[in-house]
């Protein structure tokens, strides 16, 4: 499966995976992130059910604290 994450092409040895599995694979579990999947924001409650397939485009951003 080939997907684009933040403008970079990434290859995975699977045909499909959930956003939750991708978050685990990228060591982002527990991080304050937002994910856009093909132009649509995905609520965290949907990470388990939204499946990624080849050609998908993701934008992943992390919250930054500060003052």
pLDDT band at 63 (very low <50, low <70, confident <90, very high): confident
pTM of the predicted model, to two decimals?
0.89
For the chain, the average pLDDT equals: 94
* Domain map (residue ranges) of the chain: 2-62
Whole-angstrom distance, CA of residue 36 vs CA of residue 5: 10
8 A C-beta contact, residue 52 and residue 22: yes
Is the pLDDT score of 47 beyond 80? Answer: yes
Rounded distance, CA 33 to CA 26, Å?
12
Q: In the numeric block, which tokens belong to residue 36? A: 């856009």
- Cα angle 23-27-16, degrees, rounded to a multiple of 5: 35
Q: Indicate the CATH number for domain 2-62.
A: 3.10.20.30
């Amino acid at each position: 499966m080939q997907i684009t994450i933040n403008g970079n092409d990434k290859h995975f040895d699977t045909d499909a995976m959930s956003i939750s599995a991708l978050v685990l694979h990228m060591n982002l579990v527990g991080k304050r992130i937002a994910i856009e999947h093909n132009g649509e924001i995905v609520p965290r409650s949907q990470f388990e059910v939204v499946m990624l397939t080849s050609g998908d485009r993701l934008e992943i951003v992390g919250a930054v604290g500060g003052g």
